[in-house]
Structure 1
Amino acid sequence: MLTFAGLDVTAADGTALVRGVDAEARPGQPLTLLGETGSGKSLVLAAAMGSLAPGLRASGRVMLDGTEMLSATHSVRRALWGRRLATLPQEPWLALDPTMRALGQVAEVYRLVRGMPAAASELEARARLAELGLDGAAAHYPFQLSGGMAQRLALATLRASGAPVLLADEPTKGLDADRRDEAGARLRAEADRGRTVVCVTHDVAIARALGGEVAVMLEGRVMERGPAETVLEHPSHGYTRRLLEAEPARWPALPPRPAPRGEVAVTAEGVRRSFGGRPVLRGITFSVLRGEIVAVTGPSGCGKTTLGDVLLGLLRPDAGQVRRLPGVAPWRFGKLYQDPPSAFAPHQTMRQALSDLAQRHGLSWAAIAALLDRLRLGPLLLDRRPEALSGGELQRFALARVLALDPVFLFADEPTSRLDPITQGEVSNLLGELVTERGLGVLLVTHDAALAAKLADRVVQLRPSGAEC
């Protein structure tokens, strides 16, 4: 059993980030922490693991059966990691070993944590990869995997540990609807086997699938807590109702945008691209105009990110050609990365990162500050490093930085997958406004069919073969 009693997390400057959290997860009864980005959900898990970022301090009580986790020594906590307590991190690419192939990442858990022989470890690892649709990626390194595939690989290593307590931090971001439902079902199955599951998510569908108990968090506090069916079907707090009503499928129709300018921002003609002899893109032809949003959908690993990288010139096509609007500076063709930590230097604060950008390109701080305000990024966040920000906060900083360069074309790779429904709506509205205001052309990669239908002017669907539907 994992119990939180009066848990507080405080920053070095005295700012309270988590305040008085009381919750409990039992074997067979999952606990879901649900809420918007920056509400302190992930900090609760980090406090339980003993992995809070430097400068953050936890107080109160976190009990794992009879062990007090907050006062435990590092050696005591380390002895629990992977054996009694295992975590699926919010950013899997930070947790995966970049020098190891997918099969080896899972097999070593069986060998080193579970004590199984090497041959048996490999057999079990292959079975876990096959269960998650990764049997064809066993020999791939993390950099060769899509974001969704990396997420599934991290989930496979989590399940391999056999730990009785599983902490899952946003386990379904970057996954298509089928994979999301599958991941939720697997976590629910782990609970049904008697494991204790704590899940942090902004995805209401996952909270419904897991059942058990739900605690809704806002600004570091639990606003409402109770059985999932009660909280999600008959919420008593206004914030919970607002969160449930903000799911993309429930969004009202967005205001119609003017017709695109007719000026082509970027075009692809017969583009093909393979990796290691495996075709990913097969003869893709289409254009993105200034003033329009084109959504690209399809299952994880079908080539959506590869297509965007080819359009930007980050990858060369094996065949075909890409043309971009002539006479435009290269930095005005921008990318919003699927994994926001990959876009920032880990030792820099957000203020320094944005100041460097302003100095390099002659931008005014007032213009950057206006973008930060529109994205609900307060001044207190500017002096934090990436590790001290939630995934959603970091994603919004990444969006502010790329928009500050006044792009004519933006490749937005899953720009809302780390955002709660409320913030998704706000960011989507902002993106639509900027498309109209600036004549911005957007290639939007998303797994969310409802979001694509609400926001995009056109939808391009890729098959698993990389061919366009």
Structure 2
Amino acid sequence: MTDALLQIEDLRIHVGSAAGRSASSMLLEACSFSLRQGERLTMVGESGAGKSLLAQAIMGTLPANLEATGSVRILGVPSNGQRKRTQALWGHGVMMLPQEPWTALSPLMRIGQQVAESAHYAGALAWPKAQTAAHVQLEALGLQGTAQHWLHQISGGMAQRVGVACASAAQARLLIADEPTKGLDPGACQQVAALLMAAQSQQQALLTITHDLDLALQLGGQIAVLKQGRVVEQGATEAVLGNPKHPYTRALVAAQPKHWPAYPFAGLADAQPVLQAHALAKRYGARTLFEKLDLHLRAGEVLAISGRSGCGKTTLGNVLLGLVQADSGTVDRALNLPRWKYQKLYQDPPAAFSPFRTLGQALADVCQLHQLPSGDIPTRMERLGLSGALLSRMPHQVSGGELQRFALLRTLLLQPCFIFADEPTSRLDPITQRNTMQVLCESTAVQGCAMLLVSHDADLARSCSQRHLTMRSHAPGTSATLD
């Protein structure tokens, strides 16, 4: 197919070289598809199925311990997953929005300049036009006013949209978007989807990797469903998700949070208070995130919090943990408990792991530091759908969804009294997400642990909590109101 911008034939990804290779070393089985100008393909499926590895193979950025075989052609160039052949196409030919844009953005440049540089160097626009394009991109994503901010001054959801703005400003002929809407509120998701689809009118090809089936429906085009490294179903998006044929696809659709029953939490009449906050207020410059905020949490209670990206949800959780100082108000925590009994599940799990320690060492370090038994780690891993083979890998050698579950496992080992769970399942497919949230809710009930759950998914928040706090933006500041 000579007019294909991307053509994949019999692509396979293995661990190690051909020598000594076994069936268990296969991470992605024979995958074939093509994308022409203006076409969209969305890949969905279980966490760890090889979706992000496929994107890395196309970009020529597979980890050194992995090998790709088969044919990869980008803009007619037989790159075959080799970095030296693919790198010349980066930016103008093919652009990738990585799953962790926070690590791809520079902390030393202002936001607007980063987007403008993408439009200038990759999009070949003169600098004044590149600056104008950056302004347009940021405004389209609801980020007006952030051009002069630094990376540390914006939320994780804002950083996600800045990554989308940079990728879109490059105007590459082929765009690969890896989880472009994870952790975003519904309004921001629609903005991202609209921006991605607008590029197809300019004959850009789009390959999207996502766990969000609603996003897949918004994007339309074609869809491919992966399970255990193999494409099990493929076709028009509306047809596949509207009338799935394969049992796994049917299970995936049925496992969306909107179909979850409410978790059967026990009563809290005699539960002891774990954390209480009175008249909290936090401002950044002239911007008020929240003020006069009161809340309390008792043992075994789950309080869900939602609101637009950047409204202060993560900041509130950090204030409750003592990681950020409130401008006014007080936080009272249960007495006679060490500080490490108050834990945080980070929105971006790579930020919570040392890149120089294997996952097994990371778990062992926690057990050794706090003199905890490690015998139940295999059982906990099985409950979370994690293979024991992953323990010998470094954090960057597992999928985002796998690393997110390791972060949860490590936290539960501590038997905390309070967990601030910041989008704890944003990188998980619906089936794994449902199982993981069940484990998390069960743990809070059994251990008498209170949890503040941040989620942009209203259905997930409804089914996995007893109360719901919504933070709404109002000029000149932001107030928090209990639903």
* Same fold, judged at TM 0.5 (above): yes
Alignment of 1:2-41 (within 5 A): 2-12=6-16, 14=21, 15-41=25-51
Aligned-residue offset at 1:260:
5.8
Q: Is the 1:129–1:156 contact (alpha carbons within 8 Å) kept by the matching residues of 2?
A: yes
Q: Is the 1:260–1:291 contact (alpha carbons within 8 Å) kept by the matching residues of 2?
A: no
Name the residue aligned to 1:136. Answer: 145
Could you list the per-position Cα deviations for residues 188-243 of structure 1 after superposition, in whole angstroms to 9, with x for gaps in the alignment? 22223311000001111111111111110011100111111221111110000000
Aligned-residue offset at 1:73:
5.4
Q: Is the 1:24–1:31 contact (alpha carbons within 8 Å) kept by the matching residues of 2?
A: no
Name the residue aligned to 2:154. Answer: 145
Q: Distance in 2 between matches of 1:180 and 1:154?
A: 13
Q: Select 2:243's aligned residue among 234, 246, 251.
A: 234
Aligned-residue offset at 1:280:
1.5
Q: Distance in 1 between matches of 2:123 and 2:221?
A: 28
- Corresponding position: 1:264 with 2:273: yes
Q: Which runs of 4+ in 1 moved over 6 A?
A: none
Q: Is the 1:155–1:171 contact (alpha carbons within 8 Å) kept by the matching residues of 2?
A: yes
Q: Distance in 2 between matches of 1:266 and 1:42?
A: 39
Aligned-residue offset at 1:270:
0.8
Question: Against the structure 1 CA distance between its residues 261 and 147, is the aligned structure 2 distance closer, same or farther, given a 3 Å change threshold?
Answer: farther
Aligned-residue offset at 1:182:
2.2
Question: Against the structure 1 CA distance between its residues 118 and 434, is the aligned structure 2 distance closer, same or farther, given a 3 Å change threshold?
Answer: same
Alignment of 1:67-86 (within 5 A): 67-70=77-80, 72=82, 74=84, 76-86=85-95
Q: Structure 1: where are the runs of 5+ without partners?
A: none
- Corresponding position: 1:42 with 2:52: yes
Could you list the per-position Cα deviations for residues 274-312 of structure 1 after superposition, in whole angstroms to 9, with x for gaps in the alignment? 123322122211111111100010000000000000000
Q: Distance in 1 between matches of 2:381 and 2:356?
A: 21
Alignment of 1:98-109 (within 5 A): 98-109=107-118
What's the % identity of the aligned pairs? 42
1:354 match: secondary structure: helix
Q: Structure 2: where are the runs of 5+ without partners?
A: none
Name the residue aligned to 1:435. Answer: 444
Name the residue aligned to 2:363. Answer: 354
- Corresponding position: 1:182 with 2:182: no
Name the residue aligned to 1:154. Answer: 163
Q: Distance in 2 between matches of 1:366 and 1:261?
A: 32
1:447 match: secondary structure: coil
1:59 match: secondary structure: strand
Q: Is the 1:260–1:292 contact (alpha carbons within 8 Å) kept by the matching residues of 2?
A: no
Q: Distance in 2 between matches of 1:356 and 1:82?
A: 41
2:472 match: secondary structure: coil
Q: Distance in 2 between matches of 1:260 and 1:334?
A: 24
Aligned-residue offset at 1:369:
2.4
Aligned-residue offset at 1:146:
1.1
Aligned-residue offset at 1:71:
5.9
Name the residue aligned to 1:217. Answer: 226
One-letter identity of the residue aligned with 2:68: A
Q: Is the 2:157–2:309 contact (alpha carbons within 8 Å) kept by the matching residues of 1?
A: yes
Aligned-residue offset at 1:114:
2.9
Name the residue aligned to 1:466. Answer: 478
Question: Against the structure 1 CA distance between its residues 261 and 29, is the aligned structure 2 distance closer, same or farther, given a 3 Å change threshold?
Answer: farther
How many residue pairs get matched? Answer: 468
Name the residue aligned to 2:292. Answer: 283
One-letter identity of the residue aligned with 1:193: Q
Name the residue aligned to 1:301. Answer: 310
Could you list the per-position Cα deviations for residues 343-392 of structure 1 after superposition, in whole angstroms to 9, with x for gaps in the alignment? 00112110111111111111222122222121111111111111111111
Could you list the per-position Cα deviations for residues 75-116 of structure 1 after superposition, in whole angstroms to 9, with x for gaps in the alignment? x32221011100110011111111111111101112222333
Comparing 302-311 and 422-431, the one that deviates more: 422-431
Q: Is the 1:146–1:301 contact (alpha carbons within 8 Å) kept by the matching residues of 2?
A: yes
Comparing 270-279 and 435-444, the one that deviates more: 270-279
1:365 match: secondary structure: coil
State TM-score, norm by structure 1.
0.97
Q: Distance in 1 between matches of 2:235 and 2:120?
A: 39
One-letter identity of the residue aligned with 2:38: G
Alignment of 1:383-422 (within 5 A): 383-422=392-431
Comparing 92-101 and 117-126, the one that deviates more: 117-126
Aligned-residue offset at 1:178:
1.4
Name the residue aligned to 1:63. Answer: 73
Q: Is the 1:8–1:20 contact (alpha carbons within 8 Å) kept by the matching residues of 2?
A: yes
Q: Is the 1:261–1:289 contact (alpha carbons within 8 Å) kept by the matching residues of 2?
A: no
Aligned-residue offset at 1:255:
2.6
Comparing 176-185 and 203-212, the one that deviates more: 176-185
State TM-score, norm by structure 2.
0.94
Q: Distance in 1 between matches of 2:125 and 2:387?
A: 50
- Corresponding position: 1:51 with 2:61: yes
